[in-house]
Structure 1
Amino acid sequence: MNAAAGTKSPTTRKTSLYRLRTMGAGGAEDLATMVVPRYLDRDGFHVATVEHGPLQGLLVSGTIAPGAADWCATLAALSGLTVQEENRTSLGLLLVRTDQAVYALSYGMGHLMIDPARIDPGFGIEFAVRCLDKDRITKVRRQIMDARGRTDENSATAGEHIRGFGIEEFGEIVSQISGQITDVPLTFTRDGRRAAHVTGTDRSVKIHLGSSPVDLVEDLCSIEEVCARPNPLPEFEFITQVRPLSPRSERAQQLDARLDLLLGTGDTSRMALAVPGECRDRFEFAEAFRLRLAGRNELVAALDVADLAEAVRARPQGQRLATLRAGRVEMFADTEAADRLSRKVPADQWVTAEIPDGPVHYFYWQGQWYEVGAEYLTAVRRRVSELLARPATVVLPPWSKGEVEAAYNEKVAEQEGYVLLDKDTIRTERLRGGGLEIADVLGPQGQLIHVKRTDSRKGTAPLNHLFAQGRVAVETLRYDLVAREKFVAKLDELAPGHPADRSFAAPTVVFGILLKDGEPMTVDSLFAFAQVSLLHTATALQGMGAKLEIVSIGRGPIG
């Protein structure tokens, strides 16, 4: 109801709210088991049972005073004066039990006291996408779930439509979304004069909650009613199809065990090399990799998932994934490992793996597990099928058994109007002195043809490289004027009068792929993560004005 003019608004406070996972009968479980044990008996911390009106729960609070701030000495040295200030960190945590669940209200740094394994990682996004106003979104943070591994964050102070943030329907994980909510009765909006804003993350909801026991319980009931809605709002449905799992959750630990078993089989058909986000910008310029893994310390010219899996294969069951996580990979721009391109990155972050479990699939990516729903996978397969069905404008002959890639590219280029570009690189300052192949072969209308053969040992790692190569080639031609001028000069030298559009404003990119044994390219023959990567590459190319064609190369006789 609307309050009369001058009536004071109900008291609320913006709070970080977590939903906790219970074990067994939630109503009987000791709430103290959901708190990190060291805080329960720490000096200066207080633990008390709460029974206040309708509110039942557990309160934990305290202050950490580790001593002088670490910047005191620096300020004293700079100013010549005595500086004595102390860091003090306050922690407040209220666990509240309802008929449906257990919630944690965090104040200060109180979230540090929650046992991470108990946090429901889907709660924040689950709530937000069921009540946000699609036209009043203020912030979105998402991760690109492909070889780039990039995190983007975009804001709109006044709020705008969710589609204005450019979120991809496939291949992106939304880890935070903020905006105005509608149709949720809360203490904060009871007077009818204020609109509530929330931030939903993959761990929590930040929202104004009532400051009295009765108001808080009513607010929690309203939040539960929203989460109980069977489906998210149509505009947000695609966001919920991929969600991260807490690393310490029971499901993540079960998946760790299954991946550990898979690493012991030597089968990498459901694994691929995934370049960590921090390495992506310089990966194309890497000439060597330092691999420190399972007692090995060696320099290799190229890295693929089979190298990483084979290094831990002989380890005892239960130790393979742990060994991979303890290993390190370092990139270098030269073959002597003198010009470092990256830090020592955990080896498991270079691996992605798919674990199917009925209609749901799980992906290990960037060192974390993600759950992918059946509807998402169905939509991915539909989009990939559409890509594969596009007619091709080039002819790629059969690939003879025993024929190396260089020889096959020469055979393609023997056709009238085709130009061999394989190993013919261009170099610019933007490329840090490294060479870049714009394509393996140029087609008769200027198509940029990229060719790759896969085999069972390397899984889909060659495809990930192929997709990245096509995208980087178009980015370079579009944004690097020097590179484009050098490529055009090279083309004029190799094939004067070729009809290719020298502006490359709307190029056609062709991925020519030979699968093992020459099997046809279908959604069933592509690793699901590779399908997502392909879709994201197709969208990126479309955004740069490029068209994409995919050609399945057949197997010819022994060469």
Structure 2
Amino acid sequence: MSACPRDRTSPRPAHRRPPASSQTQGATLSPKKSPLTRKTSLYRLRTPEGIALDLHALVDERYRDRGDFTATPVDHAGVKGLLVTDSLARDSTEWSGVLSDLTGIDVRVASRTASGLLLVRTQRAVYAVTYGMGHHMIDPLRLDLGFGLQFALRSLDQHSISLVRRHFMDARGRTDENSATRGGELRDLGTEWIGSIVSKITGTAVDLPLTHVSDGRHTLRVSCTDSSITLPLGRTPQQFLGDLRVIEDTCDRPAPLPGLESLARVRSLRRRGRTTLVRGLDSQLDQRLGDPHASGLTLSPPSECAPHTADARAVRLMYGSRTIQVDDLDIDDVRRLVRDRSEEHRLRALKDMRIQLFADAECTDPLGAPVPGHRWITAEVRSGAAYHFYWQGSWYEVGAEFLQALRDDVTELLSRPSGVVLPHWPVGERTDEAWFNEQAAKQPGYDLFDRKTVRTGTFRGGGLEICDVLGPEGQLIMVKKADKGTSGLSHLFTQARAAVETLRYDSEVREKFLARVAELRPNQPPEEILATPTVVLAIRLKYGVPLTADSLFAFAQVALLQTAVALQGMGARVRIITIRA
């Protein structure tokens, strides 16, 4: 493709210098010094190995085919690549018609969106620097989806993390984001690394000789997504190329910085190519796409779409000549377009599909570029001793390293002393929890709270069971008989979170609970119980076997740690004990 740069010789309008004030007339004003850097978004692009690629191919074809698209080869002071610019004009905004209808006035408000994209080739990779809406001009299939977090885990100060967005690798496709104004530890932000993938992290980079910190007076704030880095880069060719080399060297470091290892415990299979393992996982996913009743498959917005999902009024699915428009996207909408394909071709069809969000029901105001359909799918597959997850178009493995880290954290949690003693629960005798709670409450210093719900208007005639037994130091003891899996423990974890959260935020529940404690223990200040509450999760596994990292399935361990982190985030201490047979 050939293109000519726009004419830059047209005269610019003259700017008049503002009149000098009485205090500055006659004085020489020093010109304002330009900053050395500018905040920039940087992407690394995937290119075929050993093939000389035309950089035009990295630009989304929607822009390459437009008449106002401008591409200019660059070879300037060591910077070699392609400069792409575009200015999208619209005669009238979509909402102009709405205002006309509401007011009876002919409203025609035009809009113009500017985009800039610089593709730069180095000896190690091809990078994209974007300005304005320039990130939409990159072919999304070319994004290196591990680049941003690879840099973040090797550059950020673990004590300065101010924002973390994570996606949970489960069938619900959950996403949440935690932030702190002044930054802090990962666990202070409530980040549950267990069973989740971090897609965005913001903090302060340390020990990087970048232009922005060369004067010794600035700190380097960096925001990284899975595919991009946003940070100040040098404005001159020499400074820019120097900064790029620092970023490349940082990404080549062999391991994450201390304190950030937990974010690297989920291993991507992307760099392994189409191995036998990946082909087998793809085949299982292909089968599920053709089965409307298959489980372990759901939708999760890719990171580039996640910020816009709340504003979307319509979603368009495009596959070949077929187009479906829906108000709310559902997994069945995706399956409908690919399930009639033959086996082993559904996933390929999903990769050819495009899904795009729009801010209006007429689909005239796009919220970003169309994204391949397979990047919207989240799937879970158990394969031998490892778990595999399909997320944002790639497979991830939760294998031996993850499970060892999981075991270490569970073992540490189980080793914390609880200050609670509970009776045995013999095998073959009474099996209901009510009986056991009564036996535990017969001990000196313990009180029965099982089935003594706190009732308020909040629960619409029902009530909340704060705990099963109150311990001698005010511990909130919650009892559950369960097997090795997560199904029997889910109620226990839900009860613990609901109790602590309600005591913290519902004053009526808190007052009624404390009044009950005061009746039972007139000599113990009840407020001390809730100053820093201690939650004791008392668990009896099948046959009364000891509670260890070996006696719980992996995702029971995941659920246990996630509950502990959530409770600690609400100011509670968490202790786990075994009820023995």
- TM exceeding 0.5: yes
Partner of 2:43: 18
Question: Secondary structure at the residue paired with 1:387?
Answer: helix
Aligned equivalent of 1:328: none
The residue identity in structure 2 corresponding to 1:427 is: R
Match of 1:220 in 2: 244
**What amino acid is the match of 1:94?**
L
Q: Matches of 1:11 and 1:176 in 2, distance apart? A: 26
- The superposition leaves residues 379-423 of structure 1 with CA deviations (integer Å, 9 ceiling, x where unpaired) of 33112113334565212404549x87xx34324424524766555
CA deviations 1:513-556 (Å, max 9, x no partner) are 344676543323434343233224324444534442232555xx
Q: Which residue of 1 aligns with 2:575?
A: 548
Contact 2:192/2:562 (8 A) holds in 1: no
After the TM superposition, which of the residue ranges 96-105 and 9-18 deviates more from structure 2? 9-18
Tell whether the 8 Å contact from 1:399 to 1:553 is kept in structure 2 after alignment: no
Secondary structure of the corresponding residue to residue 524 of structure 1: coil
Report if the CA contact (8 A) 2:517-2:526 is conserved.
no
- Secondary structure of 1:198's counterpart equals strand
Of 134, 138, 146, the residue aligned with 1:122 is 146
Match of 2:120 among 71, 96, 117: 96
2:59 is matched with 35
- Deviation readout 1:298-331 (Å, 9 max, x if unpaired): xxxxxxxxxxxxxx9xx988879x99xxxxxxxx
TM value normalised by structure 1: 0.66
> Residue in 2 aligned with 1:203?
227
Matches within 5 A, 1:295-444: 353=380, 355=382, 362-363=388-389, 377-390=403-416, 393-398=421-426, 400=428, 407-414=432-439, 416-417=442-443, 421-431=449-459, 434-442=462-470
Alignment partner, residue 537 of structure 1: 563
Q: Which residue of 2 aligns with 1:141?
A: 164
**Out of 109, 128, 137, which is 2:133 matched to?**
109
Confirm or deny that 1:513 pairs with 2:539. yes
Report 1:115-264 matches (<5 A): 115-132=139-156, 137=160, 139-143=162-166, 150-156=176-182, 162=185, 166=189, 168=191, 170-171=193-194, 174-189=198-213, 195-242=219-266, 257-258=283-284
| Distance verdict in 2 for CA 1:184–1:118, change over 3 Å | same
* C-alpha distance after superposition, 1:31-76 (max 9, x if no partner): 4444333332234223455444533334433233343123334555
CA distance in 2: counterparts of 1:479 and 1:421, whole angstroms: 20
Determine if the alignment matches structure 1 residue 483 to structure 2 residue 483.
Answer: no
Cα displacement (A) at 1:17 = 0.2
Say which one has the larger Rg: 2
SS at match of 2:421: coil
8 Å CA contact retained: 1:274, 1:366: no
Tell me how far apart the structure 1 counterparts of residues 552 and 290 of structure 2 sit (CA, whole Å). 22
SS in 2 for 1:472: helix
In 2, distance between residues paired with 1:274 and 1:481? 38
Cα 1:117–1:365 shift into 2, 3 Å:
closer
Task: Tell me: CA distance 1:274–1:501, structure 2 relative to 1, closer, same or farther (3 Å).
Answer: farther
Q: Any conservation in 1 of the 2:476–2:536 contact (CA below 8 Å)? A: yes
- 1:473 equivalent in alignment to 2:499: yes
Shift of 1:19: 1.4
With over 3 angstroms needed to count, the CA separation of the structure-2 counterparts of 1:356 and 1:105, relative to structure 1, is: farther
Question: Which letter maps to 1:224?
Answer: E
1:189-208 C-alpha deviation (Å, 9 max, x unpaired): 55666554432233211123
Q: Distance in 1 between matches of 2:345 and 2:35?
A: 54
Structure 1 7/151 Cα, relative in aligned 2: closer, same or farther at 3 Å? closer
What SS is found at the alignment partner of 1:522?
Answer: coil
Any conservation in 2 of the 1:121–1:244 contact (CA below 8 Å)? no
Conserved in 2, the CA contact under 8 Å of 1:122 and 1:243?
no
For residue 78 of structure 2, what is the amino acid of its counterpart?
P
Give the C-alpha shift of residue 106 in structure 1.
1.4
Gaps of 5+ in 1: 278-291, 296-311, 324-348, 555-559
Partner letter of residue 435 of structure 1?
G
The amino acid across from 2:554 in the alignment is A
Question: Which whole-Å CA distance do the structure 1 matches of 2:250 and 2:384 have between them?
Answer: 28
CA contact (8 A) 1:131 1:181 kept: yes
Q: Residue 550 of structure 2: SS of its match in structure 1?
A: helix
State the Cα distance separating 1:224 from its structure 2 match: 0.6
Structure 1 contact 352–365 (Cα < 8 Å) conserved: yes
Query: Larger strand proportion, structure 1 or 2?
Result: 1
CA distance in 2, matches of 1:437, 1:174: 35
SS in structure 1 opposite 2:208? coil
C-alpha displacement of 1:454? 4.4
Q: Give the AA of the match of 1:439.
A: C
Higher relative contact order (CA 8 A, sep 6+): 1
Residue deviations 1:135-192 (CA, integer Å, cap 9, x gap): 6x47323448599854212223xxx665795455744765444454444333445566
Task: Return the alpha-carbon distance in structure 1 between the equivalents of residues 521 and 216 of structure 2.
Answer: 71
RMSD of aligned Cα (Å): 5.1
- What is the one-letter code of the residue matched to 2:81? G
Cα separation, 2, equivalents of 1:198 and 1:49: 29
| Match of residue 489, structure 2, among 451, 463, 470 | 463
Amino acid at match of 2:163: V
Q: Distance in 1 between matches of 2:113 and 2:201?
A: 27
Any conservation in 2 of the 1:173–1:243 contact (CA below 8 Å)? Answer: no
| One-letter identity of the residue aligned with 1:140 | L
Q: For the structure 1 residues 138 and 448, does the alpha-carbon distance in structure 2 shift closer, same or farther, using more than 3 Å as the test?
A: closer
Task: Verify the 8 A CA contact 1:170 1:535 in the aligned structure 2.
Answer: no
| Equivalent residue letter for 2:464 | L
Question: In the superposition, relative to structure 1, how do residues 352 and 512 fare at CA in structure 2: closer, same or farther (>3 Å)?
Answer: farther
Amino acid at match of 2:537: F
Relative to structure 1, the CA distance from residue 464 to residue 319 in structure 2 (aligned partners, 3 Å threshold; closer, same or farther) is farther
Tell me the CA shift for residue 255 of structure 1: 5.2
Amino acid at match of 1:438: I
Contact kept, 8 Å, 2:190 with 2:566, in 1: the verdict is no
1:110 maps to a residue whose letter is G
5+ residue gaps, structure 2 = 1-29, 307-329, 334-338, 351-375
The alignment's TM-score, normalised by the length of structure 2, stands at 0.64
**1:65 pairs with 2:92:** no
Contact 1:467 1:534 in 2 (8 A): yes
Which digits, 9 at most, give the CA deviation of each residue in 1:108-157, with x for residues without a partner? 1121232334323332233234334566x47323448599854212223x
Contact 2:286 2:343 in 1 (8 A): no
Are 2:193 and 2:263, in contact at CA under 8 Å, matched by a contact in 1?
Answer: no
Verify the 8 A CA contact 1:446 1:500 in the aligned structure 2. no
Q: Deviations over 1:206-242 (max 9, x none)?
A: 1233344444333211211121222333244444445
